[in-house]
Amino acid sequence: MTRMKRTLVAAAAFLATTMGLITAAPQANAASCAGTYTIVVGGFNDRDSMIFTGNVSQRVGYSAALNSASVREGVNELNRLIRDQRNACPGQHAKVIGYSEGAAVAHIWGSENWATFDNVNAALISDPKRKGGPRADGLAGQPYAAVMGAPLYGSDRNFGDIPTVSICTNDVICDSAAPSGWIGYATGAHGNYAFNVDVYSDDGNGQWFDGVFMPW
């Protein structure tokens, strides 16, 4: 092998090793302990929760497929991330915001963790697990959704003592009887929400339904 060939081979090996190290680099450490830790969960097909803007501290990554296995994956990842942050910053307030399927993820996380996690609030935007009143349950609460199984199937208000605000505006995903119906869904009603996380307070509790606030 000539000196030139040996040099090229060595260079290629070095680059391969370097790229491997770059690829295997660990994720960033915990977010800052200053201010509110805002963690967000996107909806169907939004695997990196990119729909949200504003002061987002952490975006939950999950498969975002329309089934209970994916929702469970999202709940587990949300739980891992938020508890890692709490361990790093014990006194920091956490705010969980979910949209559509991501709202179901946040909803389930709250139902399962309210007794063991404090100093947190949640905002559920177009939650398919929304319990009706006014009008109907969200899609996950309809009999035909039983095929989904747990944990996605069902509707409730099991938030324990976590301050939780639900936002639903003429949208069949969170209100199966919404006047806009599926035509409204197809023409953008499901996206008619604020996705800047700074809009949502750290202590909201109750529901905004068709633009009107109602206490639980």
Residue 15: both structure tokens together: 């680059």
In the chain, the amino acid numbered 118 is D
For β-strands 212-214 and 206-209, DSSP reports them as: antiparallel
Low-confidence ranges of the chain (pLDDT < 70): 1-30
Regarding beta strands 94-99 and 164-168, do their DSSP bridges make them parallel or antiparallel, or are they unpaired? unpaired
Q: Which residue is it, tokens 């089934």? A: 67
Residue 172 CB contacts under 8 Å (≥ 6 apart), including other chains: 139, 178, 180, 181, 182, 184, 185, 189, 190
Whole-number pLDDT of residue 100: 98
**pTM of the shown model:** 0.86
> Tens of pLDDT along 14-56?
333 333 333 333 344 569 999 999 999 999 999 999 999 999 9
Two tokens, residue 65: 């497929």
